Amino acid sequence: MRFNNISINHYLSGALTLGLFLFASCKKEDKRSNLAGITEFSIPSTGVEFTVDQTTMKIFNEDSLEFQTDASALTASFSTVAGATVKVGATVQQSGTTVNDYTNPVVYTVTAEDGVTSRQYTVQVNVAKLDPKTVSWQKSGDAGFGAFHDVKAGFFNDKYYAVASTIGSFGAFSFGVYQSADGAAWTRLKAADNNGDSIPMAEHGALVTGFNNKMWILGGHIPGSGFNFSKVTNKVWSSSDGLTWTATEPVNAADRWSIRERINAVVFNGKLWVIGGSGYPAFGNTNSNGTAYNDVWNTTDGNTWTKVTDAAAFTPRCNPSVFVYKDKIWLIGGIDNGKTYLNDVWTSTDGLTWTEVTTSTAFTARQGHQVIVHNDQMLLIGGETAEGTQADLWVSEDDGVNWTKTEAGDVRALPGNYPARAYFSAFVNDNVIWVFGGRSKNGNQYTNVAEIWKGGLN
């Protein structure tokens, strides 16, 4: 049989087509996944949550780890899409097993089951860069209201308030209630009480802000007028706006703490507390302390007072620092009736029973200082010691047992241009320590301090 070339070519072409079809039909379909990705990520030892951002291909912790946390050897746990493998460089990663150095960002390469498709994630372990103990001090400027013997300041209803006063010679008395939106620009309020008396009437009273949604002025030293001598009082003034004040006096002497100045007052367990203070100073001298007390009183409304104890366990004293911390009232330092400077530490959960903290390393004994609490540490600022007024800062990180004086280079230390002062006002608002007023002593001469300082807290 003979075939022409056309017939042979046609036959071969058809056979080849059939063979290719049969080969393609017999080949198995590649069902390996081409998906690559990390679905969950954590580093259990850190105790913080990590976010896997599939858009930016970043894995990170929003809440930073504590300052100086060692991130050089951490173990991650992670989940991937089915069949994917993970490498860092050439090292295969095993969830819950492989240790990596996360001091700097680490790139995770995730390869799909097909061995071709891959995605890269950058893992950033965030560690706090700033020591949480840091206090960033700066001078805010001189008080726009001037310098006074006594400045009590606080924050109330989105405004800063300063109640300032100075008793001068021959009955002279300068004073004012000042208000500010930012602590820099101040406006004097024409403040008066329900008796028509201008506020403040006294020097060295206590200012409390926020109790029962009001500001309170307690007691103080009232200047004399004409041939009348100065005196101290146990009046209580209250105001919801700093402009209009209501004055109350006790119906009976036993209904309230006795007349006094340099009162220590705090809000604790829903009550306003008065702790000690001092009576009329010798010859009415505003630079002198009167006889100090160690009684304790409280009230739920500012009008009706209850005597908790007539004599607390601590010795009577003037100008201690009194504050609330860890569900206790704290009383630190001061000066006693024998003019001895003190550096003891006392606490109470009820105002009746007081316990002295056994101090191992003490701060220099003093009066007229302030203690601010931040990040489980007590910051004791300034005050007057036997050597004069101070511009120092002491820290206790173990609830008053040990105290360390901060030196240059410490992240909390006061700068060199901070003025020595005692009898000043200090409080915290919006993570900032504010320091107002005070007096500086050089020998027997006192100078009023006008500088306002701020300490930013981390």
Assign residue 263 the CATH number of its domain.
2.120.10.80
Domain holding 115, by residue range, is 38-124
Ordered DSSP codes for 13-77: HHHHHHHHHHHHHHSPP--------EEEEE-GGG----EEETTTTEEE-SSPBPTT---SSEE-E
Long-range pairs for 187-192 at CB < 8 Å and ≥24 separation? 188/145, 189/242, 189/243, 190/243, 191/239, 191/242, 191/243, 191/244, 191/245, 192/244, 192/245
Q: Are residues 178 and 259 in the same domain?
A: yes
What is the per-residue pLDDT for 23? 41
- CATH code, 71: 2.60.40.2340
How much is the pLDDT for 20? Answer: 36
Residue 95 and residue 227 share a domain: no
- With a pLDDT cut of 70, the percent of the chain lying above it is 93
**Overall average pLDDT of the 404-430 stretch:** 96
32 within a domain of the structure (yes/no)? no
Which residue, 442, 425, 337, 435, is CA-closest to 141?
Answer: 435
Same domain, yes or no, for 103 and 148?
Answer: no
What average pLDDT score do residues 300-313 get? Answer: 97
Residue 260 lies in a domain: yes
Q: Are residues 147 and 282 part of one domain? A: yes
99 burial level (CB within 10 Å; 0-12, 13-18, 19+): exposed
Last residue of a domain, one of 124, 149, 169: 124
Residue 56, C-beta contacts closer than 8 angstroms, at least 6 positions apart: none
Residue 182 resides in a domain: yes
Question: Which residue is associated with the tokens 């004040």?
Answer: 245
Query: Are 393 and 346 contained in the same domain?
Result: yes
Among 124, 159, 193, identify where a domain stops.
Answer: 124
Task: pLDDT band for 51, please (50, 70, 90 cuts).
Answer: very high
What's the average model confidence in pLDDT over 328-355?
97
* Average pLDDT estimate for 264-273: 98
Q: In this predicted model, which residue has the larger pLDDT, 133 or 107? A: 107
Q: Which of 124, 159, 174 is the last residue of a domain?
A: 124
Nearest residue to 367 (alpha-carbon basis) of 321, 436, 316: 321
Same domain, 176 and 278: yes
> Does residue 167 sit in the same domain as residue 88?
no
Is 141 found in the same domain as 109?
no
**Are 295 and 389 contained in the same domain?**
yes
Question: What is the structure's pLDDT at 25?
Answer: 47
- Stronger pLDDT, 445 or 152, i.e. the higher one: 152
> Is residue 204, in this structure, part of any structural domain at all?
yes
φ, ψ of residue 367 in degrees (nearest 5): -135, 165
- Residue 28: predicted pLDDT: 62
Strands (E), 143-270: 150-156, 159-167, 173-180, 187-189, 192-193, 206-211, 214-222, 231-239, 244-248, 264-268
Task: Report yes or no on whether pTM surpasses 0.85.
Answer: no
For residues 139 and 119, membership in a common domain is answered with: no
Q: Is residue 290, in this structure, part of any structural domain at all?
A: yes
Q: Is residue 227 part of a domain?
A: yes
Q: Looking at the structure, do residues 157 and 114 belong to the same domain, yes or no?
A: no
- Structural domains counted in the chain: 2
pLDDT at 227: 67
The contacts of residue 24 (CB under 8 Å, 6+ apart) are none
Task: Give the closest residue to 379 by CA, choosing from 389, 365, 390, 369.
Answer: 369
Provide the β-strand partners of residue 99: 75
Task: Report if residue 17 sits inside a domain.
Answer: no
Q: How is residue 8 annotated by DSSP? A: H
Regarding whether 216 and 105 lie in a shared domain, the answer is no
Q: Is residue 23 part of a domain?
A: no
